[in-house]
Amino acid sequence: QMCEKFTVCQNSVELLLHNNLNLPKVTEEDGDFLTFLSFQDKCLRKISSGLYTFQTYLKYVQETFISENQNVESLSYSTEHLARTLRQMVINPEEVIIPDAPTQESLYTKLKSTKDWTEKITIQLILRDFTSFMEKTVRAVRYLKNTRSFSV
């Protein structure tokens, strides 16, 4: 939809130039999914923390991408619910990093200061990285579901 509505497409060179967003990522250092068993707690902490961090980015997308406001609101709610659920599965839930209000406000202010054209690129980058993060999250949760008894 972004490509059609705003002429902002995945392969746009501009996307690469403006990707200075510090979006959460799950990397191999957080636990290789093939040897995930030994990294379960660390990976769950990282995923839950990342989901909490994405809340500020999703708020920005929701308030900026007006035509999809309701869809993004639902996505944000589901993301927060998943973050809480995964946090409860961590051995020490207090180790999950949840950005505090000043950090969230600072990030949100920085995001809102972008210009119209950059705003479209920023939304595209957030949604692209969120999709990638969620793909890895789904793989991890499926693996956990098959290797230990829990329900999400």
CA–CA separation, 48 and 133 (whole Å): 11
Q: What Å distances lie between residue 37 and 7, 27, 74, 98, 148, CA to CA?
A: 43, 16, 31, 24, 9
Which residue has better confidence, 8 or 49? 49
- Surface-to-core class of residue 12, CB atoms within 10 Å of its CB (0-12 exposed, 13-18 middle, 19+ buried): middle
- Whether 2 contacts 8, CB under 8 Å: yes
CA–CA separation, 72 and 63 (whole Å): 9
Q: Which of 16-25, 49-58, 123-132, 142-151 has the least mean pLDDT?
A: 16-25
DSSP class of residue 38? G
Which residue has better confidence, 52 or 69? 52
Q: What Å distances lie between residue 56 and 7, 9, 21, 22, 86, CA to CA?
A: 25, 23, 12, 12, 18
* pLDDT of res. 118: 79
| Prediction pTM value | 0.75
| Model confidence pLDDT, tens digit, residues 28-61 | 555 544 454 446 788 889 999 999 999 999 999 9
| Model confidence pLDDT, tens digit, residues 80-135 | 999 999 999 888 999 999 999 999 999 999 888 877 767 888 888 899 999 999 99
Topology of domain 36-147, per CATH? Growth Hormone; Chain: A; (1.20.1250)
- Residue that has been written with the tokens 């406001």 in this structure: 69
Query: Per-residue pLDDT for 2 more than 60?
Result: no
Q: C-alpha angle 38/40/46, rounded to 5°?
A: 130
* pLDDT of res. 26: 66
Q: Which residues contact 35 (CB under 8 A, 6 or more apart)?
A: none
